[in-house]
C-alpha cells in the first residue's frame, strides 16, 4: 500500500499541558496540525517498527476523523498492530486498562476531558506509555521539541477502517483490531469489587441511586455495570447517551456543572446516593442525600476503608495526592503507618510511585481518584468503591463522612477558579506573589502565622527528576494553606485556581458551611494576590 511523505512546517504552541495537547477543534482541523503532532509523538518515541498501540477517545466531535488519520500514520510509521475501541470509543480509564491488559507499547487517547465539545468546542490528544499512564515530562518535552523541528510526516493512502465492525482488519501491513469498548473494563471492575454485595444493596429496595453520565463517554460503561451487571433499575443512569457535543453541556462533575444531578440530590425526596463523571470518564463526584463529599475527603475516606474492598483487603502501601489536594489523606496515611506523597497536579506524576508499589491509592482535589489497577484516575471505579463501602457498612454517605471527621478531624476545603483571565494579568499576579514569597515566613495575619511560602518543586523519589514552579504555596502553622496556580488544561486565556484549606478537630465545629468556615482565609488569599486589583474580578467563576 503506497505511503506518502508530506512536507510540512512547524506550528507554534504544540506543547502538551497538564494532560496532553488541548486546543479548539478549529485549531486541530487546520491542514497538517493533527498530523504534525502525531508524527512528532512518533519521532519522540524513536523506532516504531513492529510496535503496538491502543487508540480511542471520548467520542466528542472530530474523534473518528482524527482516529482514521492516526491509524494511517501509525501504519506508515511501522506499527504492526492497533487496538481501537468500537466507533472510536474508549474512556480514559478503559484505555489505560486495555494498554496494560494487552501489553501494548502505548496508547493515544483523544479527549479534552470536561472541556465543552462540538464544532466550536475543544479537542485533545495525549500519549500514554506501556504502563497505561500519561507520558512523563521527559517524553512530553521531547514531543514538544519534535513539534518545533518537524518538516515531514508519513501517512498511508489506504482506505478508512470500519470502526463499527468488531474484529481484525488490515491497513497496509498493519492490523487493526476493533474491540468492544466496555468489556475489558467491566471485567477489571468485577475483579476489584464485591459485585454480589453491591448488587444486593442496589436491589434491596431500600437504596436508590442516580448516576449522571452528562452525555459523555461513561454512559455505556455505567449502563453496562450499574444497570445490567449490578441490577440497578433502568433509569439509574441519566444522560447516558454519548453525544458528539455532550448535549451542549459542560461535562465537569462538580456542584456548578452537574446541576441536574445536584438539584435532585438536594431535593426533599433525594436518592441515597448520587454520582457523576466527566467527558472522558476519569473524574467522579460523590453525593449523598443532601450531602456533598469533597474529592479530597473522598480520597481519605476510601483509604480509611480500603480493607473492606476485595482488591485492597490485605492493605494499601501508601497514598499520593496532588499538592493542592487537602491534607485529609495524610492523616489517614499517618494512622495506617504508610507512606504519604505530595506530587504536582496531573496524573502523570503518580505513575512512578504506582509502578514502584510505593502507593496504592492516588487522588486530586479536581474530582480525580484512582489506584494501582490502572494508571489513570477512574470515575466509575470511585463510584463502585463508594457503593462497596456503603454495602459493607450499611451506613449513609453523611454518616460515613461525619464519623470520619470525628475520628480524623475535618479539612475544610474550597477551590476558587477565575476563568478566562487575560494571560498577562494572570502571569503578573503569579509574579506578584512570587516576589513576596521570601518576606512571608513568620509573618502574622490575624491569628495565623506563615510557616513557609514557596513555589512548589517536586523531586520524584523514583527517577530523581525535578519539576519546578508547580504552584505557589503559603502554609500556616497548624496546617492551613493557600495555594495558587494557573491551569494547564484551558484553551482560552488563563484560569487562576486558588485552593484554600483549614483543619478543624473541635467537635462543635465540624459541621459548618465551608465558605463560612474558610471566609477569613479566602479574604486573605484575595488580599495577598491582589486578585481584584490585578484582574478586575470581584468573584470567582466557579467555586468547588
The piece of 97-105, 170-178, 342-350, 500-508 that touches ligand VG1 (CB under 6 A) is 342-350
Angle, CA of 72, 73 and 75, to the nearest 5°: 65
The piece of 10-18, 272-280, 423-431, 483-491 that touches Co ion (CB under 5 A) is 272-280
* Comparison of 400 and 496: residue with beta carbon closer to ligand VG1: 496
* Comparison of 238 and 494: residue with beta carbon closer to ligand VG1: 494
The two beta strands, 318-322 and 361-364, are: parallel
Q: Does 280 bind Co ion (CB under 5 A)?
A: yes
* Comparison of 224 and 252: residue with beta carbon closer to Co ion: 252
Q: Does 343 bind ligand VG1 (CB under 6 A)?
A: no
Strand segments, DSSP code E, in 40-137 are: 52-57, 81-89, 106-110, 122-129
CA distance 369 to 273: 18
CA distance 493 to 419: 8
Q: Which of residues 194-233 bind ligand VG1 (CB under 6 A)?
A: none
* Comparison of 288 and 368: residue with beta carbon closer to ligand VG1: 368
The piece of 28-36, 138-146, 278-286, 402-410 that touches ligand VG1 (CB under 6 A) is 278-286
Quick one: which of 19, 277, 294, 491 contacts ligand VG1 (CB under 6 A)?
A: 19
State the angle between helix axes of 195-202 and 379-393 in degrees (0 to 180), rounded to the nearest 10.
Answer: 70
Q: Does 63 bind Co ion (CB under 5 A)?
A: no
Q: What is the DSSP string of 509-524?
A: GTT--HHHHTHHHHHH
State the angle between helix axes of 379-393 and 92-101 in degrees (0 to 180), rounded to the nearest 10.
Answer: 90
Strand segments, DSSP code E, in 323-371 are: 339-343, 361-364, 368-371
Give the CA count within 13 Å in the CB-facing half-sphere of 491.
22
Measured CA distances, 408 to 200, 294, 328, 332, 400 (Å) = 30, 15, 8, 7, 12
Q: Which of residues 310-329 bind ligand VG1 (CB under 6 A)?
A: 322
Element (H, E) at 423: helix 423-436
Q: Does 368 bind ligand VG1 (CB under 6 A)?
A: yes
Q: Are 251 and 279 in contact (CB under 8 A)?
A: yes
113 is catalytic: yes
Which residue of the chain is nearest ligand VG1 when measured via CB? 113
Quick one: which of 14, 86, 87, 113 contacts ligand VG1 (CB under 6 A)?
A: 113
Q: Which of 40, 113, 181, 502 is catalytic?
A: 113
Grid cell in block for residue 26: 478549529
The 74-113 contact track toward Co ion, x by CB under 5 A, reads ---------------------------------------x
Q: Does 364 bind ligand VG1 (CB under 6 A)?
A: yes
Q: Does 346 bind ligand VG1 (CB under 6 A)?
A: yes
- Residues designated as active site: 113
> Residues interacting with Co ion, by CB under 5 A?
113, 278, 280, 282-283
Amino acid at each position: 500500500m503506497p505511503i506518502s511523505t508530506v512536507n510540512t512546517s512547524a506550528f507554534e504552541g504544540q506543547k502538551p499541558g497538564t494532560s496532553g495537547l488541548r486546543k479548539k477543534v478549529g485549531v486541530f482541523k487546520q491542514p497538517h496540525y493533527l498530523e504534525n503532532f502525531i508524527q512528532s509523538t512518533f519521532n519522540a518515541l524513536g523506532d516504531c517498527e513492529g510496535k503496538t498501540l491502543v487508540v480511542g477517545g471520548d467520542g466528542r466531535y472530530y474523534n473518528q476523523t482524527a482516529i482514521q488519520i492516526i491509524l494511517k500514520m501509525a501504519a506508515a510509521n511501522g506499527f504492526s498492530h492497533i487496538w481501537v475501541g468500537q466507533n472510536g470509543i474508549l474512556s480514559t480509564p478503559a484505555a489505560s486498562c486495555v494498554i496494560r491488559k494487552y501489553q501494548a507499547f502505548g496508547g493515544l487517547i483523544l479527549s479534552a476531558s470536561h472541556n465543552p465539545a462540538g464544532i466550536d468546542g475543544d479537542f485533545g490528544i495525549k500519549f500514554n506509555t506501556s504502563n497505561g499512564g500519561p507520558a512523563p515530562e521527559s517524553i512530553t518535552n521531547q514531543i514538544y521539541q519534535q513539534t518545533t523541528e518537524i518538516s515531514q510526516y508519513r501517512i498511508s493512502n489506504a482506505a478508512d477502517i470500519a470502526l463499527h465492525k468488531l474484529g481484525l482488519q488490515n491497513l497496509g501491513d498493519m492490523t487493526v483490531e476493533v474491540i468492544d469498548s466496555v468489556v475489558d473494563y467491566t471485567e477489571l471492575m468485577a475483579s476489584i469489587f464485591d459485585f454480589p454485595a453491591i448488587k444486593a444493596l442496589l436491589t434491596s429496595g431500600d437504596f436508590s441511586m442516580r448516576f449522571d453520565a452528562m452525555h459523555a463517554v461513561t454512559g455505556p460503561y455505567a449502563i453496562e455495570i450499574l444497570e445490567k451487571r449490578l441490577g440497578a433499575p433502568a433509569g439509574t443512569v441519566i444522560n447516558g447517551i454519548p453525544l458528539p457535543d455532550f448535549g451542549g453541556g459542560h461535562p465537569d462533575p462538580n456542584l456548578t456543572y452537574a446541576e441536574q444531578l445536584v438539584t435532585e440530590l438536594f431535593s426533599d425526596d433525594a436518592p441515597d446516593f448520587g454520582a457523576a463523571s466527566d467527558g472522558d470518564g476519569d473524574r467522579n463526584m460523590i453525593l449523598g442525600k443532601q450531602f456533598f463529599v469533597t474529592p479530597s475527603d473522598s480520597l481519605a475516606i476510601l483509604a480509611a476503608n480500603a480493607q473492606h474492598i476485595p482488591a485492597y483487603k490485605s492493605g494499601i502501601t501508601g497514598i499520593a495526592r496532588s499538592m493542592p489536594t487537602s491534607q485529609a489523606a495524610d492523616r489517614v496515611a499517618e494512622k495506617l503507618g504508610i507512606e504519604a506523597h505530595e506530587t504536582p497536579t496531573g496524573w502523570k506524576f503518580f505513575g512512578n510511585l504506582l509502578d514502584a508499589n510505593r502507593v496504592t491509592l492516588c487522588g486530586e482535589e479536581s474530582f480525580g481518584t484512582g489506584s494501582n489497577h490502572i494508571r489513570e484516575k477512574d470515575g466509575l471505579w470511585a463510584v463502585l468503591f463508594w457503593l462497596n463501602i456503603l454495602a459493607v457498612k450499611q451506613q449513609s454517605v453523611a454518616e460515613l463522612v461525619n464519623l470520619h471527621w470525628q475520628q480524623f478531624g475535618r479539612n475544610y476545603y474550597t477551590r476558587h477558579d477565575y476563568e478566562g483571565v487575560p494571560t498577562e494579568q494572570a502571569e503578573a499576579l503569579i509574579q506578584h506573589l512570587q516576589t513576596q514569597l521570601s518576606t512571608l515566613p513568620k509573618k502574622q495575619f490575624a491569628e495565623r502565622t506563615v510557616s513557609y511560602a514557596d513555589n512548589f518543586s517536586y523531586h520524584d523519589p523514583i527517577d530523581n527528576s525535578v519539576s519546578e514552579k508547580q504552584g505557589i504555596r503559603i502554609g500556616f502553622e497548624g496546617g492551613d494553606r493557600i495555594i495558587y496556580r494557573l491551569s494547564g488544561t484551558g484553551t482560552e486565556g488563563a484560569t487562576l485556581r486558588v485552593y484554600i484549606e483549614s483543619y478543624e478537630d473541635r467537635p462543635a465545629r465540624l459541621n459548618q458551611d465551608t465558605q463560612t468556615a474558610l471566609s477569613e482565609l479566602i479574604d486573605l488569599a484575595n488580599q495577598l494576590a491582589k486578585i481584584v486589583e490585578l484582574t478586575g474580578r470581584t468573584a470567582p467563576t466557579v467555586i468547588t
